[in-house]
Amino acid sequence: MYDFIEKKSCDLVVLGGGGSGMVAAVRAAQLTGKKVIVLEKAAATGGGALFAGTVRTFGSKWQADRNLPDTTAEYARDMLDKTYWRLDTKLVANTLHGTGWFFDWLCEQNLGIENKFEIGKYAFEIPSGPLGPQMTSKQQYGYGFGHFVMDKMQAQCQKYGIEVLTKHPVVDVAVKKGKIVAAIAKSEAGYVRVACKACIMSTGSWINNEKILKKCCPQFVGMKQWMDPSAHMSITYTGDAIPLAEKVGAFVDYDSFCLRLMGPMHVSKSKVFMTMCQSPFIITVNLNGQRYSAEPVGHIGHFEDGHVQIAQPHGQSFDIFDENTLKATFQLPRRNLSNPHDLQVLGDINLPDTMEEVYRSIEEGFAQGDKNIFRADTLEELADKMSVNKENFLNTVRKYNESCKIGFDADFFKSKDTLVPLNRPPYYAILGKLMTDGAFGGVKVNPDMQAYRPDGSLVEGLYVTGDFASGRFINLGGVKRQVLNDLSWAFSSGFLAGTNAGKYLESLVVFI
């Protein structure tokens, strides 16, 4: 069927060179000394991990040496409550512990790097989340922890003789007796066959697979033209491994398939406009000029608000404020800058120290040609600049001001103490857009990251990691409820898969 330009062989083939795939490859090679080949579709390795900043780490030696409390049990209970205890608790335990095992291993493989980290928390932590290693505030290393680890994994690939073939998308697998015995990649020169004894699938998401999108999230189809480019929407994420997994008999859990949506997301050169997006005193309208949620919309949660935003035309909206709301926001208590994890209950409110600086920041944004911010002396003029339905917009503001007067928001139930009328020009607006944190769901795995079959048995020699593995989250009506954030899961699942694939390879008996 294929005219191969080259045939290779290895003990372990890793499909995908993203965060989880690279960790899995290095861990397996380090553990066994056996031959590992990574096949990556893109021109470079790293994937979405290159753009991820912070992680959660549980039970590491680094934390114990600093007498940090181990909150693994408390955190696990909290997150399993949120996922209604529908997940395999052994898998949850393994992946949480795996974060600490991975970090200790990272330090062991790269002596002296433990001093590059400071005590901190994951960027969107819950109260029971762990204090653990984060990149130091003074160290600017790429895009954060993910980039740092990917650089280390590339160096380790050279150390352990791991062959990394970029621009080698895998198009097929050879299956014998229910096991993958070779991966077939199509390079720029032609087809390459890589024989293997075990396989790890780390191929990422399917967010650019239109067929799957129409099935699992039809609202999202067609939205991309209105969205800003994102690493989570890489053109390489087309779900290539789905038919490969099904060919070997793995259970592709389509019920788990979901998107994680965010929004409204804002980009502005003005610190004031970015801060006002979090103010409880603003109102938010869609392109129809109508409110659609209590403000700020982000109060729902950074990774939940997008499921409201996607229902708006083009996934777009505008946050509106005036002199009244600007000054009310300025009077809120300041964030404690000595503690970077001290966030306001009402949002991350951190305006400049004086109103003169506030106005200076606003002017700087306009002076720099910021196309996402607007200002007008009348509401009619602001509506024109935003290109929203003017009649609806004027009615929306009028009705909101009436709510402020009586002290009750009958439409969207904002707190009484946040009802500040919009009636003092100039009026301001900032554009907000729908964004996504990626698409998730794939092969159901056991606590060792080994692939299940539909009947509950396991696929011999096949392990699955990262966004293509199903097991650390539930799909709650299209909303992803997870027990561990993506970067932590990538490194933990990769470490576990590499460890267990290595053990599997060591267990194979060669008969002569």
Domains of the chain: 4-204+239-251+441-507 (3.50.50.60), 261-435 (3.90.700.10)
In the predicted model, what is the mean pLDDT of residues 361-385? 96
> Could you tell me which of 344, 303, 251 has the C-alpha nearest to residue 82?
303
Q: What are phi and psi of 158, to 5 degrees?
A: -65, -40
Which pLDDT does position 232 carry in this prediction? 77
Cα–Cα distance, 482 to 466 (Å, whole number): 13
- pLDDT 10s digits, 431-466: 999 999 899 999 999 999 999 999 999 999 999 999
Whether residue 218 is predicted with pLDDT greater than 50 in this model: the reply is: yes
Whether residue 347 is predicted with pLDDT greater than 60 in this model: the reply is: no
- Average model confidence (pLDDT) across the chain: 93
Cα–Cα distance, 467 to 205 (Å, whole number): 6
Whether residue 399 is predicted with pLDDT greater than 50 in this model: the reply is: yes
Contacts of residue 263, defined as CB under 8 A and 6 or more positions apart, other chains included, come to 297, 305, 306, 308, 309, 310, 315, 317, 432, 433, 434, 435
Cα–Cα distance, 256 to 473 (Å, whole number): 8
47-56, 106-115, 227-236: the lowest-pLDDT one: 227-236
Whole-number Cα distances in Å, 80 to 36, 112, 147, 277, 443: 36, 36, 30, 31, 21
Which pLDDT does position 512 carry in this prediction? 40
Which pLDDT does position 137 carry in this prediction? 56
pTM: 0.92
User: Percent of the chain scored above 90 by pLDDT?
Assistant: 87
At residue 342 the predicted structure's pLDDT band, cuts being 50, 70 and 90, is very low
Name residue 432's amino acid: G
